[in-house]
Amino acid sequence: MAKQAYWLSDAEWQRIEPLLPRGRRGAHRVDDRRVISGIVHMLRCGARWRDCPEVYGPYTTIYNRFNRWSRQGIWTDIFYALTGSTGMYRSASIDSTYIKAHRSAAGAKGAFNNAIGRSRGGQTTKIHALTDDTGRPHALLITAGNVHDLDGARSLLAMGHQPKRLLADRAYDARSLREVLAARRIKAVIPPNPTRKHPHRYDKTAYKGRNVIERMFCRLKDFRRIATRYDKRADIFLSAILLAAALTWWIN
C-alpha cells in the first residue's frame, strides 16, 4: 500500500505551506505535509476514511483535519488565495456537471440545503464552474442537481470576475443572463436556443474554446470522491472539490 501512497512533492509543498493557518491555540498539530498528503490520497482513491493507509498515521487524524478545516473554510481560503478571487482575464467559460450522490450521502438535515436534489439521474449534486481561457477554474460552487444552470451562473458572476467575454452552451441562452452580461460589458458567446424565433448571433470561432471547461470537469472527476459524492454535508463536499482543483491547476 505504501508504494501506491500519494505524497506532496517539494514544489507542491512550497506553494501550499505558507497558506496554512498558523499561531492557533491548542495542541501542536502533527505533520501537516503528511496529513494533507493523506487527505489528497483519499480524495483520489475514493475509499472509506477508515481504510486510509497507515503510512499517513491514524485515519481519525486525516479525517478530522479535513472535516475541521472544511467547516472553518480553510480549504476555500487556500483555493481563492491561489486563484485570486477577483482576477480579470480575456475569456471565461461557464458550465456545470452532475455528480451522482451515493446513498451514504443521504440523511443529513435539510437535504436541499446540503446541495442534493432529485434530477433525471436520481439524487444528484451539480458543480458549477467558471474557468479562464486555459481551463483553470477561478470559481466553483455546488447546488442541488435540480437547480437551473442560470442560478449557478448568476452566483458565479456575483463573485466579481470581469472577463471580456463569456463562453457558454445554449442552456445559458436567456434574456436575463444576457442583460446582466451587457450591463457589465461582457460579450456573450452563447449559441441561441433552437426554439428562438429571432436567434442571436455569436462568435463561432471563439465558441470553439469552450471545450476547455469540459476537460476541466473530466480531470476533476479523476478524483473518485468527487466523481461520486459520499459526503452528507455540502461544505465538506465543496472543500474536496476546491482542494482537488487547487492541487491540479494552481499548485502544480
C-alpha cell at 227: 466523481
130-149 pLDDT per residue, tens: 999 999 999 999 999 999 99
Instruction: For residues 245-251, give the mean pLDDT.
Output: 94
72-129 pLDDT per residue, tens: 999 999 999 998 755 556 899 999 999 999 999 987 776 557 999 988 879 999 999 9
Q: b/e map of 183-209 (b: 16 or more CB within 10 Å)?
A: eeebbbbbbeeeeeeeeeebeeeebeb
Q: If you average pLDDT over every residue of the chain, what do you get?
A: 91
Instruction: For residues 55-65, give the mean pLDDT.
Output: 95
Kindly tell me if the per-residue pLDDT of 234 is higher than 60: yes
For residue 206, CA distances in Å to 93, 159, 198, 211, 232 come to 11, 24, 21, 11, 39
Give the bridge partners for 126, in sequence order: 98, 143
How buried is 15 (Cβ within 10 angstroms: 0-12 exposed, 13-18 middle, 19+ buried)?
A: middle
Look at residue 15 in the predicted model and tell me its pLDDT. Answer: 92
C-alpha cell at 121: 439521474
Higher pLDDT, 179 or 194: 179
Look at residue 30 in the predicted model and tell me its pLDDT. Answer: 84
Closest CA to 7 of 56, 46, 47, 51: 56
Q: Within its chain, how far is the Cα of 137 from the centroid?
A: 8
- Cα separation, 162 vs 181, whole angstroms: 10
Look at residue 39 in the predicted model and tell me its pLDDT. Answer: 97
